Amino acid sequence: MSQPFVLPETQAVLDLLAAQPGPHLADLPAADARAVYHLLGDLFEEPADPSVRTLDLPPDSTGLGTPLRAYFPGPAQAGPVIVYMHGGGFVIGDLDTHNAVCTLVARVSGLRVVAVDYRLAPEHPYPAAHEDCLAAARFVAGAGAVLEAPVEGIAVAGDSAGGALACYLAARLGRDTVRAQLLIYPWLDATAADEGSYRDFAEGFLLDRRLMDRFITDSLPFETDVAGPDLSPVRHPLPAHLPPAVIVAAGLDPLRDQARALAAAMAGQGLECHFLEARGLIHGIATMRKALPSGDAVIRRATTIFADMIRATTA
């Protein structure tokens, strides 16, 4: 591989992280890795938009067993609702690590957003997260009373592992239920094939091969069909009923080629897809927007396209 293009803001983040003492994130116990993820958010993420009202929905208020957080960019109005799944390799991340980006999505889209605090591995490996998110999406579709105004269809969104979950929901529920999908550097091939961007960015760009191997070990039981369509959809023909998508890739991301492959497959099957690639940026831009302003601009642009797509399917 030739020398990759790295934005100065990206290099500053990488240099800062490289200078930090302590073990690799992949070598930490899950609880410690989750704590570090919170610290990275404190360091690199913009604060949550204070104009967006939030409402926590604990498990006993929904009957799901899964906490949810609802975001209201203004007075509740009848319309579609975005269901957001956080990233973190199915092992780290929660409602708080993605609070700021969910307020951004709500503010930019003008739509209600519901974030899902799905169960994490290794305590709850696959398919726990998929089951939680499917149940949450079905709940939100009929949760007009809880969300203070009728729900007229849902859209799905997520970053990294959350992008994988959003893609899974879109495939499972189809465009009759899901109006559109926003997939931010999604994890779409769990086979860990040592090729392309997965090989080229295996170390030195925050998300690396060691951390991916850790996520795979923790979240996917030995007997799991990692090459199946739920976990590796880019290795299969896409369902004809997939809703339109906005797909974001980061140029220095091991998962970059997976996002490219999904966009190409959707275009090849005549499915609507808008693809944005953030050149010179790393995996994690959705939750590192203070340190990576170019990434912030990409996420805002993708959300705007996503919102227009939702409204176009609602009209």
* pLDDT higher than threshold 90 for residue 178: yes
Known active-site residue 49: no
* pLDDT higher than threshold 70 for residue 315: no
In tens, the pLDDT along 111-131 reads 999 999 999 999 999 999 999
What mean pLDDT value characterizes the chain?
Answer: 96
Predicted pLDDT of residue 193: 84
In tens, the pLDDT along 133-170 reads 999 999 999 999 999 999 999 999 999 999 999 999 99
Known active-site residue 15: no
Work out the percent of the chain whose per-residue pLDDT is above 70.
99
Predicted pLDDT of residue 23: 94
Known active-site residue 283: yes
Task: Specify the higher pLDDT residue, 222 or 245.
Answer: 245
* pLDDT higher than threshold 70 for residue 171: yes
* pLDDT higher than threshold 90 for residue 35: yes
Predicted pLDDT of residue 314: 75
d(CA 298, CA 262): 19
Please tell me which residue in 94, 159, 189, 253 is annotated as part of the active site: 253
14-18, 54-58, 82-86, 191-195: lowest mean pLDDT where? Answer: 191-195
Q: Please count the other Cβ atoms lying within 10 Å of the Cβ belonging to residue 24.
A: 11
Please tell me which residue in 109, 160, 219, 232 is annotated as part of the active site: 160
Predicted pLDDT of residue 1: 63
Three-state DSSP at 218 gives helix
In tens, the pLDDT along 189-236 reads 999 888 999 999 999 999 999 999 999 999 999 889 999 999 999 999
d(CA 9, CA 6): 8
79-83, 204-208, 311-315: lowest mean pLDDT where? Answer: 311-315
User: In the β-sheet with 79-85, what is the strand arrangement from edge to edge?
Assistant: 53-57, 68-72, 112-116, 79-85, 151-159, 178-184, 245-250, 273-278
Point out which residues pair with 246 in neighbouring strands: 182, 274
Residues in Cβ contact with 66 at an 8 Å cutoff, skipping those fewer than 6 apart: 59, 116, 117, 118, 119, 132, 135, 136
Predicted pLDDT of residue 313: 87
Point out which residues pair with 55 in neighbouring strands: 70
Please tell me which residue in 98, 130, 274, 283 is annotated as part of the active site: 283
* pLDDT higher than threshold 70 for residue 175: yes
Work out the percent of the chain whose per-residue pLDDT is above 90.
95
d(CA 24, CA 179): 40
* pLDDT higher than threshold 80 for residue 69: yes
